[in-house]
């Protein structure tokens, strides 16, 4: 029994020592964790400092036999409080960050956290019960000192093996949990896209619904309350003279919830380049809890989708940019990956604007306020009939390709990027276009901003040249990917720039019938 009691005390002392020291080195994180568990903000700061000090005190008093009873009683009291706090939050459907071991390990509290804390409470209860019966075991220092060299080595080896096994199981557990979260997020995104008609059908065709306002149009003004009851407007968000990214979310949207940790990091890392604001829906308390959990700022609540409707945004999560002059600066990006692409463009990591395949261009209808008409196109940098800009770029084999090499036949110049989700969506149709070309049909020339390896993986049969800086695209008047323009057999511009998947496919399809 003596060995069991001393081992139990050493285990508790080790846990409380690591937890207390880790929390003490991250007092701000400890304060946030205490507040996330429902403690009033006025008490969170002192408790965030007091808690690690209590844990260190418990760890120290568990070592000597003379103070072990008080140490075990203190450990039991703290662990019971932790069990109650975790249980109450789980019963309310909340999963605050436990911050159990500071920056060493912090994860949302769950049933595993509750079970682990309950097991430690049972160990502390056992030691305290034995202590009140008059036996807490030997002094841990004296007990270790009485062991022979061989016994000490065996104990150290056993602890090392136990530590490695625990580390292995901890790693496997978190790896499996992370994989599970990724699968859930992928399934949620696929389900959402399928319901919105964005994913290709089995034959590769898709007809997404129009979404978003025309590029360059005035961004609708709004006035919404944030989570603290303060009023936020578009003008106040633009006051710092930075572009504004509006993220449309919903507290009941699983993909939105999965993105929140990333959004919190984006707001902190890119605050010098971009103002990121969330226009959310759903229960205010749920939004407040999630914003607190992920340290989100600029979170506004709309009553009845009034802002979403004003910006012609139909789904969540979605995002779009407002420029410093208050105009619409991007198509609507729907889904996690497209929002990431839009963020990369906004902070300057992408040289071209990610295009929405169904983004409409033109003036709103005076009757209904929506934009109608054919697939979008914009005037080319050179008028139809003028010589096309020069194209001299390396292909995937490193050989220089010149647009002059295509003289004598019509050429459809496509501006492409393997990392563009919209390009990937229309890839099967472009491959079908390659197979459908007859003798005398326009040739396809892909001008891509992607890497050589990524372009090879697309498996295109047509010529692909690399333009990492998108300089040729800008010379033709293309604003992003996918875009396309037709060049006739004399090397002259023969069409406007088709923007987005439908426009590019229509231009490619129309020219397959010209033979």
Number of domains, the chain: 3
pLDDT of residue 45: 79
Local structure of residue 382 (DSSP, 8 states) = S
> Does the pLDDT value for residue 77 go beyond 50?
yes
Considering the domain boundaries, does residue 198 fall inside one?
A: no
Considering the domain boundaries, does residue 118 fall inside one?
A: yes
Question: CA dihedral defined by 395, 358, 207, 445, rounded to 10 degrees?
Answer: -20
Question: CA dihedral defined by 136, 140, 142, 148, rounded to 10 degrees?
Answer: 120
pLDDT of residue 490: 92
Mean pLDDT, the chain, rounded, equals: 77
Tens of pLDDT, residue by residue over 180-234, are: 556 655 655 555 444 443 444 333 333 344 467 877 788 999 999 888 888 899 9
Q: Is 56 exposed, middle or buried (0-12, 13-18, 19+ CB in 10 A)?
A: middle
User: Are both 330 and 432 inside the same structural domain?
Assistant: no
Distance (Å, rounded) from C-alpha 355 to C-alpha 425? Answer: 12
CATH of residue 439's domain is 3.40.30.10
Categorize the per-residue pLDDT at 142 as very low, low, confident or very high, splitting at 50, 70 and 90: low
Closest by CA position to 444, among listed 431, 462, 425, 456: 462
Choose one of 127, 146, 165: the last residue of a domain.
146
User: Are both 14 and 132 inside the same structural domain?
Assistant: yes
Choose one of 78, 113, 146: the last residue of a domain.
146
Domain range for 286 is: 223-354
User: Are both 129 and 57 inside the same structural domain?
Assistant: yes
> Does the pLDDT value for residue 421 go beyond 70?
no
Considering the domain boundaries, does residue 385 fall inside one?
A: yes
User: Are both 350 and 418 inside the same structural domain?
Assistant: no
Considering the domain boundaries, does residue 64 fall inside one?
A: yes
Choose one of 146, 172, 205: the last residue of a domain.
146
pTM score, whole prediction = 0.37
Average pLDDT for residues 233-258, to the nearest whole number? 89
């Amino acid at each position: 029994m003596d060995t069991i009691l001393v081992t139990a005390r050493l285990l508790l002392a080790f846990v409380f020592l690591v937890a207390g020291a880790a929390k003490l080195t991250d007092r701000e994180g400890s304060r946030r964790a205490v507040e996330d568990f429902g403690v009033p903000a006025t008490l969170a700061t002192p408790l965030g400092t007091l808690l690690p000090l209590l844990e260190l005190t418990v760890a120290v008093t568990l070592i000597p036999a003379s103070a072990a009873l008080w140490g075990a009683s203190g450990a039991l009291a703290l662990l019971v409080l932790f069990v109650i706090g975790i249980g109450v939050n789980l019963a309310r459907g909340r999963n605050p960050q436990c911050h159990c071991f500071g920056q060493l390990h912090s994860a949302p509290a769950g049933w595993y956290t509750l079970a682990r804390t309950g097991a430690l409470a049972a160990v502390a209860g056992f030691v305290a019960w034995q202590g009140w019966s008059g036996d807490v075991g030997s002094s841990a220092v004296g007990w270790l000192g009485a062991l022979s060299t061989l016994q000490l080595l065996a104990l150290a080896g056993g602890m090392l093996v136990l530590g490695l096994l625990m580390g292995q199981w901890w790693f496997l557990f978190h790896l499996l949990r992370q994989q599970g979260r990724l699968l859930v997020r992928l399934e949620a995104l696929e389900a959402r896209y399928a319901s919105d008609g964005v994913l290709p059908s089995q034959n590769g065709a898709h007809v997404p619904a129009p979404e978003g306002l025309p590029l360059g149009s005035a961004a609708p003004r709004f006035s919404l309350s944030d989570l603290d009851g303060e009023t936020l407007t578009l003008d106040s968000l633009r006051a710092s003279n930075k572009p504004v990214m509006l993220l449309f979310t919903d507290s009941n949207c699983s993909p939105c919830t999965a993105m929140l940790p990333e959004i919190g990091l984006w707001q902190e890392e890119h605050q010098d380049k971009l103002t990121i604001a969330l226009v959310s829906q759903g229960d205010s308390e749920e939004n407040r809890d999630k914003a607190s959990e992920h340290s989100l700022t600029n979170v506004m609540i709309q009553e009845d989708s009034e802002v979403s409707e004003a910006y012609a945004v139909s789904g969540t999560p979605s995002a779009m940019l407002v420029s410093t002059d208050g105009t619409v600066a991007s198509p609507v990006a729907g889904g996690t990956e497209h929002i990431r692409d839009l963020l990369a463009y906004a902070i300057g990591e992408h040289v071209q604007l990610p295009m929405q395949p169904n983004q409409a261009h033109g003036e709103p209808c005076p009757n209904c306020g929506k934009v109608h008409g054919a697939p979008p196109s914009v005037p080319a940098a050179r008028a139809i009939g003028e010589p096309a800009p020069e194209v001299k770029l390396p292909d995937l084999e490193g050989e220089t390709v010149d647009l002059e090499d295509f003289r004598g036949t019509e050429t459809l110049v496509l501006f492409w990027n393997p990392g563009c989700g919209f390009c990937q969506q229309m890839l099967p149709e472009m491959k079908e276009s390659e197979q459908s070309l007859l003798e005398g049909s326009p040739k396809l020339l892909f001008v891509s901003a992607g890497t050589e390896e990524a372009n090879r993986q697309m498996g295109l049969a047509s010529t692909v040249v690399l333009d990492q800086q998108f300089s040729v695209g800008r010379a033709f008047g293309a604003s992003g990917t996918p875009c396309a323009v037709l060049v006739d057999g004399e090397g002259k511009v023969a069409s406007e720039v088709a923007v987005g998947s439908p426009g590019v496919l229509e231009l490619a399809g129309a020219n397959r019938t010209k033979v």
